[in-house]
Structure 1
Amino acid sequence: MNAKRVLLLFGLAIMVSSVALAQDFKYIGAAKCKICHNKPTTGEQFNKWTAGPHAKAMESLKGAEKENQKCLKCHSTAASVDKSLVATITVEEGVSCESCHGPGSIYKSAGIMKNQKLALTKGMIMPTEMVCKKCHNEESPHYKGFNFAEYSKRIAHPDPSKK
């Protein structure tokens, strides 16, 4: 009888812990990324993003476009994801780090970020041509073609400490 109770309690403990650990990755916004990704020694990625077109994506929308979901899905990370996944990111932020790198709520810590394989299991994605083409495609009324190799060089923001 005791063995059955122990086994039952053990099973319940596993079930409860797996439910507690099952969490959606949330979008936290570029300000949270800035904490680590704004240092000269690691490439000042935040400053490069701020100076680039993605951070200014919402500014490029005019009038009714700012409320049009067809426009917002590509001009704002926060507007393009399920609202239940939004933690601290805002629509006004434009196309944030997380559009390309995935929702950062879990992988944002330095301990996880130092291990790319671990970060990839915690919501981080590596940007590929297909990630970019979710927005840079023929559906856009302003589409003028997309050359991944060329455009990815324009927004490159490597971490020199990793070389």
Structure 2
Amino acid sequence: MLIKSLMIGCFLFFLGSSALTAQDFEYVGAKKCKMCHNKPATGDQYKKWADSKHAHAMESLKGDEAKDPKCLKCHSTAGSVKSDLIVTLTVEEGVSCESCHGGGSKYFPNAIMKDKEKAKANGLKIPDEKTCIACHNAESPHFKGFNYKEAKEKIAHPTIKI
């Protein structure tokens, strides 16, 4: 009986551990990112995003499109994630930082962001071509082709270490 109880306990422990590693991270919005990514000395990523088409993606939707889940999944970060993961993110933010970099609830604290591997372990995604093609593809009624290399250069916002 004791062995059976231990086996069940071990099984439940490992089941719980795997559930934690498969966790979904909450989305906190671009204002949290702005807290650190807003200085020219370190790359001014927030300003680059705020001036981009991504930040203004919702403005291109007219009438019912602004409520259509098929449109929102690519025109708004908030429209592309489960509602229970949204903390302070709004639809109006458009395609914000977390569309490409993942929900930031666990990685946005500065102590974690300073260590790239720690940030990745806490939900930070390093976007690649697949990330972009999730929206920039033939399923979009406005698709006119997509060149990843050119697009990446247009939105580049590297972090500058000082």
TM range (shorter): 0.7 to 0.9
Deviation at 1:24, TM superposition (A): 3.3
2:50 aligns with: 50
Q: Distance in 2 between matches of 1:29 and 1:80?
A: 13
Query: How far apart, CA to CA, are the structure 1 residues paired with 2:161 and 2:126?
Result: 18
Aligned match of 1:103 = 103
Residue 71 of structure 1 corresponds to which residue in structure 2? 71
Which stretches in structure 2 are left out of the alignment for 5+ residues? none
Aligned-partner residue type, residue 130 of structure 1 = K
Match of 2:118 in 1: 118
Deviation of residue 134 (structure 1)?
Answer: 0.6
Task: List per-residue Cα deviations over 1:21-79 (Å, max 9, x = no partner).
Answer: 94531000000000000011111100000000000000011111101111000000001
Where does the alignment leave 5 or more consecutive residues of structure 1 unmatched? none
Residues 88-120 of structure 1: CA deviation (Å, up to 9, x unaligned):
100111000000101000000111111111111
C-alpha distance in 1 between matches for 2:120 and 2:161: 20
Tell me how far apart the structure 1 counterparts of residues 144 and 128 of structure 2 sit (CA, whole Å): 19
Give me the CA root mean square deviation. 2.0
Partner of 1:59: 59
Q: Which runs of 4+ in 1 moved over 2 A?
A: 21-24
Secondary structure of the structure 2 residue equivalent to 1:99: helix
Q: Identity over the aligned pairs, expressed in percent? A: 57
Deviation by residue 1:118-146 (Cα, 9 ceiling, x = unmatched): 11111110010000011000000000011
Q: Distance in 1 between matches of 2:85 and 2:68?
A: 20
Q: Are residue 130 (structure 1) and residue 130 (structure 2) matched?
A: yes
CA distance in 1, matches of 2:157, 2:53: 13
Q: Which residue of the partner structure matches residue 30 of structure 1?
A: 30
In the alignment, the residues of structure 2 paired with residue 119 and residue 159 of structure 1 have an alpha-carbon distance, to the nearest angstrom, of: 14
Give the whole-Å Cα distance in 2 for the aligned partners of 1:105 and 1:39.
Answer: 21
Partners of 1:73 and 1:24 in 2: how far apart? 17
TM normalised by structure 2 equals 0.86
Normalising to structure 1: TM-score of the pair? 0.85
Partner of 2:40 in structure 1?
40
2: distance between equivalents of 1:144 and 1:24? 33
Distance 2:57 2:83 in 1: 20
- The residue type paired with residue 58 of structure 2 is M
Matches of 1:68 and 1:154 in 2, distance apart? 28
Could you say which residue in structure 2 is the equivalent of 1:88? Answer: 88
